[in-house]
Amino acid sequence: MAKSRRAVYPGSFDPLTMGHVDIACRAARLFDELIMAVYDTPNKALLFTTQERVALATEALHDVPNIRVDSFRGLTVDYARSVSAQVLVRGLRATSDFELEFQWSLMNRKLSREIEVVCLVSSLRYIFTSSSNIKEVARLGGDVGGLVPPCVAQALAERFGRDDSAPPVPRYLAT
């Protein structure tokens, strides 16, 4: 019987964007199973808790049958080993991503010889989308529709105390 191929797509996903969804769906076509692994303790300030990030990714990807969402702490290669995955998936937007992903690929290779890193290039429409610019735009009342799944748009609106059903009124027009 052919060996089943399981891959892990690790990330902070704070929050999940359509750029992440695009990479996850494309990777899910390449492997038998894809685990979206939400990193519990990234070295950056988080807007959403691990539980919230897992819940948002689960809701956004629930109709892709071979994707499941999990969370992890510690080394990514140790997590991959614990779920018997041979591949780590990462997304590349620009040369700045490349530098970082290249360094992490080599580090992960040093930590674990049996795990391969597969990088998928971002779709053009999401090349400028990052969790940090989404958070900044949402915090300032800008429209992030189409760049994040609807459940994430809703969570951002709630987090920043806005009613997402009505577009924000520019302050100079408000009476």
Nearer to ligand ADP, 59 or 168 (CB): 59
Does residue 130 touch ligand ADP according to CB under 6 A?
Answer: yes
C-beta closer to ligand ADP: residue 98 or 167:
98
Q: Which residue is nearest to ligand ADP (CB)?
A: 19
Contacts of 73 (CB under 8 A, 6+ apart): 39, 40, 41
Out of 33, 52, 59, 97, the only residue in the binding site for ligand ADP (CB under 6 A) is 97
Neighbouring C-alpha atoms within 13 Å toward the C-beta of 38: 22
| Ramachandran angles phi, psi of 68, nearest 5° | -130, 155
Q: Using the rule CB under 6 A, is 76 a contact of ligand ADP?
A: no
Is 44 known to be catalytic? yes
164: CB partners within 8 A, 6+ apart: 153, 154, 157, 158
Q: Does 126 bind ligand ADP (CB under 6 A)?
A: yes
Of residues 53, 62, 68, 58, the one with CA closest to residue 156: 53
Q: Do 54 and 87 meet the contact criterion of CB atoms below 8 Å apart?
A: no
Q: Which of residues 39-58 bind ligand ADP (CB under 6 A)?
A: 42
Asked if residues 27 and 120 have their Cβ atoms less than 8 Å apart, the reply is: yes
Q: Closer CB to ligand ADP, residue 93 or residue 168? A: 93
Q: Is 131 among the catalytic positions?
A: yes
Min CB(112)–ligand ADP separation in Å:
18
The CA distance from 27 to 9, in Å, is 9
Given the residues 3, 44, 113, 171, select the one marked as catalytic: 44
Of the pair 135, 164, the CB lying nearest ligand ADP is at 135
Stretch that binds ligand ADP, among 8-16, 47-55, 61-69, 156-164 (CB under 6 A): 8-16
